Structure 1
Amino acid sequence: MRGPTPVTCYFELRNDKAAQALYSADYNATHKWKLPGIKDCPGCGATWGGWGHQYPAVDLSNLPERGEFEEARPEPFDELTRLRELVRPLVPPGSRLPPGTSFGPLVGTATGRFAPFSGLESCWILVRRDAFDSLQAAGVRGLLGCKTELRFRQKTPPELLELQIEPRGQLHRDCLPPDMEPPCATCGRLGVRLPDDPILDGASLPTDTDLFRAGNFSTLLIGTDRFKDAVEQGGWTGISFRELPVRS
């Protein structure tokens, strides 16, 4: 007779400042391409560009219009829409692509010793190759490691990968303001900040990956207990974990 199905636990992934203090890493980087922000949205009037929608595996180098994605700037809605449709065939199906979505490798300068995991304060995850290989060997699902184009100043730089972490689950309505307005129907802007104590909507959570973002608050990085166990059992540092409640 089969036992009960194990319950998956979920954790917010945050920068472990104490662990990072033991390393000397420093970097200044941005993704190679990006959608512009939106200027004076015709639906809500806002000028903004989002953060937390990053697709480092999406390569625009063969796109004739790739130069139009190199400068961060706000654009009117029609121009944003035109550029968004140019990249849509290259991104995972169903991607929302809000204003400010970025693509391609991290480009910039770096120096020093990197922790196994870093970059979480910027809402992305840089992982050393040795830690990445360990997670794969442990059976962590949904890992997509992407090469960076960081220029190091030392002779023997580490091999760093950026994990592509896609928005999948949602926060539960109970942790959001009761009078919250729905997202703008034109640009998708949600005019509230991430709650201090997030609650996950159990019905929305993916079952095929151990690493994802909250779909309605994409700066929130989430890992399952399988991901947490693989990190801790491997002795890898740089990430701290806070368990998140799940509500149906």
Structure 2
Amino acid sequence: MKFYELKRDPSPRYTGNLNAAHKWGLPGVERCPVCDLPPEEYTMGQYPCVDLSALPPQDQGKLSDSWPVPREEFIRLRELVRPLAPAYAVLTSGARFGPLQGSGQGYFGQLVMQNPWSLCMRREALDRLRSAGVRGLIGCPTQVRFRTKHAPDLRDIQLEIHGRFHPDCLPPPNPPCPTCGVVMGHSVPDPYRLDAASLPRHVDIFRLADASTRIIANEGLVDAVRRLELEGVVFKELEAR
């Protein structure tokens, strides 16, 4: 099985731009005074189908502000979200919830990557991929306004998180902070290899657990995109062993 990283198609014809964000998110956590690291990991995971509107307005306000909070308050907010989120959600700082809201302009392909860690699709492209048997595509309606008569009907794709880097491409781990015990992580290896044993077999597209800024697909999705002649992204083949 081959695996690929999704990237935005750099062709100048794709001028689309989304000035939009998700409504809620888990805030940061106050940093350790010794190592200046937060005690919680950070994720770029996005769960647009998670609706937090039933929470008390005061808590919704706190979940709309990314400013770091004490760890005890972060844990309280996380536990409010947990029953409303899917079991696979990674509930760490930076996790985003609710519909994508804002404005958009320009020309979009059938597949849309505003940045490396987000994926939207035109509704008809999502329907065609699902009909082709692609697994792992959960599309949520956006609340993005367009100043055009032919606005795209975009679906924000909610992804599971799976997969690790192969140990051979990672440097030795850093020592933990003697005060808080947090270990400073490493940047994404360049190039990087995937640990084949950690990759999912039940979905064809997912967010990489070791680098949540990367969206990975297997050859099943890539073949379907190419066969259906869907445009807007390109694929970079990865080594997995």
Which structure 2 residues correspond to residues 57-136 of structure 1 after superposition, within 5 A?
Answer: 57-64=49-56, 65-136=59-130
In 2: Cα distance, 1:197 partner to 1:37 partner: 29
User: Could you tell me which residue of structure 2 aligns to residue 38 of structure 1?
Assistant: 29
For the residue of structure 2 that corresponds to 1:217, the secondary structure is coil
TM-score w.r.t. length of structure 2: 0.90
Q: Given the alignment, which residue of 218, 235, 245 partners 2:212?
A: 218
Instruction: Sort the Cα spacing of 1:188 and 1:199 in 2 relative to 1 into closer, same or farther, 3 A.
Output: farther
CA offset digits 1:221-241 (Å, max 9, x no partner): 100100000111111111111
In 2: Cα distance, 1:23 partner to 1:94 partner: 32
On the 8 A contact 1:36/1:49 being kept in 2, the answer is no
In 2: Cα distance, 1:24 partner to 1:15 partner: 11
CA offset digits 1:35-73 (Å, max 9, x no partner): 111111479532488342111111101112222211221
Gaps of 5+ in 2: none
On the 8 A contact 2:122/2:155 being kept in 1, the answer is yes
On the 8 A contact 2:18/2:114 being kept in 1, the answer is no
Instruction: Sort the Cα spacing of 1:102 and 1:190 in 2 relative to 1 into closer, same or farther, 3 A.
Output: farther
Q: CA deviation at 1:179?
A: 3.9
CA offset digits 1:68-120 (Å, max 9, x no partner): 21122111211111111110111122533111111011111112221111225
| Runs of 4+ with >6 A deviation | 186-189
> Identity rate of aligned residues, in percent?
42
In 2: Cα distance, 1:93 partner to 1:178 partner: 31
Q: Given the alignment, which residue of 23, 26, 30 partners 2:17?
A: 26
User: Could you tell me which residue of structure 2 aligns to residue 5 of structure 1?
Assistant: none
TM-score w.r.t. length of structure 1: 0.87
User: Could you tell me which residue of structure 2 aligns to residue 242 of structure 1?
Assistant: 236
User: Could you tell me which residue of structure 2 aligns to residue 232 of structure 1?
Assistant: 226
For the residue of structure 1 that corresponds to 2:115, the secondary structure is helix
Instruction: Sort the Cα spacing of 1:220 and 1:41 in 2 relative to 1 into closer, same or farther, 3 A.
Output: same
Gaps of 5+ in 1: 1-7
In 2: Cα distance, 1:140 partner to 1:187 partner: 41
Q: CA deviation at 1:159?
A: 0.2
Q: Does 1:137 align with 2:131?
A: yes
The AA in structure 2 aligned to 1:35 is L
User: Could you tell me which residue of structure 2 aligns to residue 175 of structure 1?
Assistant: 169
On the 8 A contact 1:43/1:187 being kept in 2, the answer is no
Report how many residues are paired: 238
